[in-house]
Amino acid sequence: MSNLVAIIPILIVVLSAIAAMVAEAFREPNERMPSGLGLIGLVGAILASAFLWDREATAFGVVLADNFALFVNIVLGAVGILTLLLSGDAVEREGLPAGEYYALTLFAIAGMMLMASATDLLVIFLALEVFSLSVYVLTAIRRTSLAGAEGGFKYFLLGAFSSAFFLYGVAFTFAVTGTTRLDLIGAEMARQSSGPGILALLAVGLLMVGFAFKVSAVPFHMWTPDAYQGAPTIVTGFMSTAVKTAAFAAFVRVFLSAFEPLRGSWVPALWGIAIVTMIGGSVVGVVQTNVKRMLAYSSIAHAGYLLVGLIAASPAGKAAVLFYLASYAITNLGAFGVVAMLATGDRPHDELNDFKGLWYRRPALATLMAIFLLSLGGFPPMAGFIAKWYIFNAAVQESYYGLAIVGVLTSVVSVYFYTRIIVMMYMTDEPAEAPATPALSAVAAAGLGLAVIVVFYLGVLPARVLDLAAQSVATIF
């Protein structure tokens, strides 16, 4: 029973996913029973994570419910709750299979929680595959959409390719250290006084490629624009936030604990990846006319900012990574939620021109979208500003001035394509044939309102969450 304590949040989510599948068989038309069961499970997982805080529970020696994993669990639970609140309208409007959609979303969240808690490379790989398979299917869940099928197929092929890199990295790590346990790997690496050999460097490089694919870092980002554009919009929001949160959590745990002794070898490579990721995501995003593709390149740029915190690796930098993940996840999901609310059964209405004059016909949605975009751009007093401030400040404190300068400059560039949408909404006349926008349900409105509240809370009163993030990272280093 002591082993089960550490995985209680994960078990709750898994049981809610199974319940959602069973409920689909008994669901009446227009009922949202699977969604309700999912919300109950996610709230239960958050409460269980809060209950386990400071307990350091372990399961079978390979899953650790430390404060770091629990903080990530809470973020993932919040992302899951917002996703389900915003999904009801989209599922009905686009004719998605409700039982499959909700069950796959919950199974993906369970895999992500396991990935954040795992302290063994093989368990991390298994968790990676659990949530990846769910997200592959969610990407192509609209069976009549050619773009969705294309995006899902590309995501699956490149995902399988990156999984092979990751697994080879695990194999080389085992060859060097004789174990896949993160704590034992770190101890063995530190004992090798002669310096890292070729196998150790290969292990680090291959694992870095596997993680870089999942966080959409350049040049391993090729799947991102097509998968984001082809997937249902609410799935795209989930992919861009939850997947990145889980992948970065494992990235931090593996590289800042197990491979910390090899820091001098992997930091230069990661430094270069961070630079090209920030530049590539910001510059290419400027020329996009599809809002989902623009937000896809925006997510690539944000992955670069998160890599800056990973490289800085000071106590402040480590805490900043977790705070950035929380603020980015809520903000980006809110932006995709607004785009999803504009979609109709026949068209996604995700082109830039579809936002012309939105203020005149849907002022509430236009206001919400402007708030989320300004937060992504790093404007005060919203969460994005505080998140970027702490990331770049951590880089400066550790003398990574080049990373901080590039980060600030690319943030300025990204402001252009965020404000371009705002200009379209507020400063462009409504076209004669404006696209029809469906009515917003009370549940979806509550989800977007909750996201706005969190964005302002993290921007105005960030101290409490930053303290929790600092306590979280202190448990694994």
Q: CB neighbours of 57 closer than 8 A, spacing ≥ 6? A: 2, 5, 6, 64, 65
* pLDDT at residue 213 in the model: 92
pLDDT digits (tens, 9 = 90+) for 280-339: 999 999 988 889 999 999 999 999 999 999 999 888 888 999 999 999 999 999 999 999
* pLDDT at residue 330 in the model: 94
Residue of 194, 175, 191 lying closest to 183 (CA atoms): 191
Distance from C-alpha of 252 to C-alpha of 49, rounded to nearest angstrom: 20
CB contact at 8 A, 418 and 374: yes
- Mean pLDDT score of the chain: 89
* pLDDT at residue 297 in the model: 92
pLDDT digits (tens, 9 = 90+) for 190-212: 887 566 788 999 999 999 999 99
The domain segmentation of the chain, as residue ranges, is 2-474
Q: Grade residue 238 by pLDDT with cuts at 50, 70 and 90.
A: very high
Distance from C-alpha of 115 to C-alpha of 6, rounded to nearest angstrom: 13
Task: Answer whether residue 468 shows pLDDT above 60.
Answer: yes
Please provide residue 64's backbone torsions phi and psi, each rounded to the nearest 5 degrees.
-125, 120
Residue of 265, 302, 254, 301 lying closest to 128 (CA atoms): 254
Q: What is the mean pLDDT of residues 167-184?
A: 92
* pLDDT at residue 44 in the model: 95
Task: Answer whether residue 242 shows pLDDT above 70.
Answer: yes
User: Between 345 and 269, where is the model more confident?
Assistant: 269
pLDDT digits (tens, 9 = 90+) for 140-165: 888 888 888 888 888 998 888 889 99
Distance from C-alpha of 321 to C-alpha of 124, rounded to nearest angstrom: 20
Task: Answer whether residue 235 shows pLDDT above 70.
Answer: yes
Chain-centroid distance, C-alpha 303: 9
Cα 43–Cα 46–Cα 50 angle in degrees, nearest 5: 140
Say what percent of the chain tops pLDDT 90: 60
Q: Grade residue 94 by pLDDT with cuts at 50, 70 and 90.
A: confident
Q: Distances in Å between the alpha carbon of 233 and those of 20, 236, 293, 375?
A: 21, 5, 11, 20
Helix, strand and coil percent figures for the chain, each rounded to 5: 80, 0, 20
